[in-house]
Structures are given as structure tokens and as C-alpha cells.
């Protein structure tokens, strides 16, 4: 929740909006961990089916509260059989799970050990009342392969007030702000590495947490503040939204960045994503490129056409205001939790 990139800003906006609709208690579960004995037993002996000590501690600390719903956000430890049963017995309420990375974190897709291993190898959804994911195309997988009872596809969105949209003086021609390159390598090469070497009269800027060949782009290898996260795009003529490969291949699997850039009235160029039409109209509100040759042509054309860039940014902003705000998503989420 403290990160400036990825899903953290979205989650903070979501919780803020939920508090306007309901009495919400937020518990940071990372402070609770399994004991050495529990971890060893689960790994070397057999599946640990009892509630873990951290689950017992949390339930003890919160048992004086009355909940109608518990929403577990992306902490897969709480889906373990013993933990879910303890939560259910203690609070006698419905329990839901929010997976922010479906379909990326399915076993078939998580092939890079540097990024992590699939959490779905050791847990399933049969013990919770429903699951929320950011992908429409992954819903059947959640039901058929992971035993989910009910699934809500909830696309990412924004609170417009979080994102300033006043244009600043242009500093960069093309920028890409990312957390990591994993599962984006091919698209980054086609959209940044090769074009930056060919378009030497353009200034490319990249932020990344891991090393990669970004060509001739100026690279900042560290996390950036939220103020920079919202300032740099407004100083850039063309902003890139480069989505991880599994999200691009499963229909309508949303990520946060296009909505954030649109809220800032940016001109957005993306790698192709199956189901993009669910959110933006290609060619008018967002542009996509298949390869480096296309990227170079589109970049040159957009840099020369300020009016087109501004119009695209304005149209993307209008679409976000009408269809992709946090308040609208919270309404969808509340109906699902109440149903």
C-alpha cells in the first residue's frame, strides 16, 4: 500500500472510496507471519491444514469487531484451509478474495522465477464466497480450475482528483515508467530499445527497478515518488503503457497505467492488448504498435502533431471520467459483496 507504482495507488484510492460507502477497517496483514515450525512442517512434511499462529493472533486482536464481509486483498496465505476456517468461525461473515494479478499469476504464465512462483499451486478458492479479479477473460479459469463460487471482473480505475492534468513544459519525447521488465521484455525492446537507437533526435526516458538494455534512453534505476510519477508524464509528448504479456493475451485483462495516464490527459501508446476496446477506442483515445518499425513511425508522427496528441489525451480523459472512475468500480464491488 505504500508503493508509488503498480496497484498500490489504485488500492489506496479504492479503500478511500469504500470508506465513503461503508464502515471499513483496514488491517495490514504483512505484519503477521508463520513460525519456523509451521513453515518447515508445510514444506517438508505435509500440507499444514491448521490455522497458522499469525491467523490466530489476528483473530484474537480483532475478535471484538463485528464484520459483515472480510475482503482479503492479494495475501494468498489467508486462503489456506485452516486460516479461512478460523476467520469464518471467529467472525461468522462472508469472506472474499481480491487477486490483483490474474491471469499473470496462474501457474501456466509465471515462468520467470525472478518474478516469483504462482501462489495458486498451493491454495484454491473453494472456501471463500467469491473472488474479484481485474480480468474478464480469466473468469472461467477461476471457476473451473480454482473452484471459485462467484467471480467479479473488476477493471482497474482511478480517482481523477489524485492525478493532475495540467500540461507542463515538454522535457521528453517518449517516456516509460515501470516497476520491472519481467514479462515485458519483448515489448520494451520493440517500443523503447530499438526506437531509441533509431530516433536519435528524440529524448527517451525510462524508470525501472531492474537492469535491462533500454537502448539510448535515459534510465533511472530506482523507484520514484508519486509526485514524479504524475509529473513526468505531463512533461512527455508520448507516454508508453507497456503491459505484461499474460495480460495482453487474455481478453480484457486490465492494468492500472492506461487509466492513470488518461486521467492526466496524456497521449498514450500501448503494446497490443486483447480486449482493449473494453476501455479505450484505439486510434482515437489510445494507439497501439506491433513492432519497432511501427513504433518509430507512430512516434515521429505524434511528435510532429501536437494537436493530435492533445486531442487523444482529452478523449482518453473524457472516457475515464465517464466509465473508469473508482466511484463506479466501488458501486460494482459493493453490489457483488452484498449479493
pTM of the model: 0.94
pLDDT of residue 2: 62
What are the residue ranges spanned by the domains of the chain? 8-157+327-338, 160-323
What is the per-residue pLDDT for 36?
A: 76
Q: Classify strands 94-98 and 151-153 as parallel, antiparallel or unpaired.
A: unpaired
**Which pLDDT score, from 0 to 100, does residue 328 have?**
97
136-146 pLDDT tens trace: 999 999 999 99
The CATH code of the domain at 160-323 is 3.40.50.2000
Q: Do domains 8-157+327-338 and 160-323 have the same CATH topology?
A: yes
Phi, psi of 47 (to 5 degrees): -60, 125
Instruction: List, in sequence order, every residue forming a beta bridge with 266; answer none if it has no partner.
Output: none
Rounded CA gap, 339 and 334, in Å? 8
Q: Cα dist. 320→50, 124, 279 in Å?
A: 45, 34, 8
- Find residue 282's DSSP bridge partners: 286
Domain 8-157+327-338 belongs to what topology?
Answer: Rossmann fold (3.40.50)
Which residue reads 505524434 in cell numbers?
302
Alpha helices (H) in the chain, listed in sequence order: 8-19, 36-44, 53-62, 81-91, 139-144, 185-188, 194-198, 226-231, 245-249, 257-263, 292-304, 306-323, 326-338
**Whole-angstrom Cα distance, residue 179 to residue 222?**
9
Q: Please list, in sequence order, all residues whose beta carbon lies within 8 angstroms of the beta carbon of residue 302, skipping any fewer than 6 positions away.
A: 237, 238, 267, 269, 287, 308, 309
Whether 144 and 112 have beta carbons less than 8 Å apart is answered as no
> Would you give the DSSP letter of residue 233?
G
CA distances in angstroms from 283 to 14, 203, 223, listed in the order given: 29, 24, 31
What local confidence, expressed as pLDDT, does residue 250 receive? 98
pLDDT of residue 32: 72
Mean pLDDT by 10 residues, the chain (339 residues): 74 95 89 74 68 90 94 91 93 96 93 82 86 98 94 97 97 95 97 98 96 97 93 98 98 97 98 98 98 98 98 98 98 96
Amino acid at each position: 500500500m505504500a508503493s508509488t507504482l503498480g496497484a498500490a495507488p489504485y488500492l489506496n484510492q479504492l479503500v478511500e472510496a469504500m470508506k465513503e460507502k461503508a464502515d471499513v477497517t483496514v488491517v495490514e496483514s504483512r505484519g503477521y507471519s508463520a513460525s519456523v515450525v509451521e513453515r518447515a512442517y508445510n514444506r517438508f512434511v505435509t500440507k499444514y491444514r491448521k490455522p497458522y499462529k499469525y491467523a490466530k493472533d489476528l483473530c484474537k486482536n480483532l475478535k471484538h469487531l463485528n464484520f459483515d464481509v472480510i475482503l482479503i486483498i492479494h495475501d494468498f496465505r489467508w486462503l489456506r484451509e485452516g486460516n479461512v476456517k478460523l476467520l469464518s468461525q471467529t467472525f461468522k461473515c462472508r469472506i472474499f478474495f481480491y487477486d490483483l494479478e490474474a491471469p499473470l499469476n496462474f501457474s501456466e504464465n509465471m515462468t520467470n522465477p525472478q518474478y516469483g512462483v504462482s501462489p495458486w499451486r498451493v491454495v484454491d478458492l473453494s472456501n471463500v464466497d467469491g473472488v474479484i479479479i481485474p480480468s474478464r477473460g480469466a473468469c472461467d479459469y477461476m471457476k473451473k480450475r480454482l473452484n471459485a463460487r462467484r467471480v467479479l471482473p473488476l477493471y482497474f480505475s482511478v480517482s481523477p482528483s489524485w492525478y493532475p492534468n495540467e500540461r507542463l513544459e515538454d522535457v521528453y519525447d517518449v517516456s516509460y515508467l515501470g516497476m520491472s521488465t519481467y514479462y515485458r521484455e519483448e515489448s520494451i525492446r520493440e517500443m523503447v530499445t530499438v526506437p531509441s537507437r533509431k530516433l536519435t533526435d528524440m529524448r527517451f526516458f525510462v524508470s525501472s527497478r531492474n537492469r535491462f538494455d533500454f537502448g539510448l534512453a535515459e534510465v533511472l534505476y530506482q523507484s520514484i515518488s508519486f509526485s514524479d510519477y504524475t509529473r513526468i508524464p505531463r512533461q512527455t509528448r508520448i507516454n508508453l503503457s507497456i503491459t505484461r504479456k499474460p495480460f495482453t493475451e487474455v481478453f480484457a485483462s486490465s492494468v492500472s497505467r492506461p487509466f492513470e495516464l488518461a486521467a492526466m490527459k496524456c497521449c498514450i501508446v500501448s503494446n497490443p492488448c486483447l480486449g482493449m476496446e473494453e476501455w479505450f477506442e484505439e486510434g482515437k483515445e489510445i494507439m497501439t504498435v506491433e513492432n519497432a518499425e511501427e513504433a518509430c513511425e507512430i512516434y515521429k508522427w505524434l511528435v510532429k502533431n501536437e494537436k493530435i496528441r492533445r486531442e487523444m489525451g482529452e478523449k482518453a480523459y473524457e472516457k475515464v471520467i465517464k466509465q473508469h472512475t473508482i466511484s463506479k468500480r466501488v458501486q460494482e464491488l459493493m453490489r457483488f459483496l452484498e449479493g
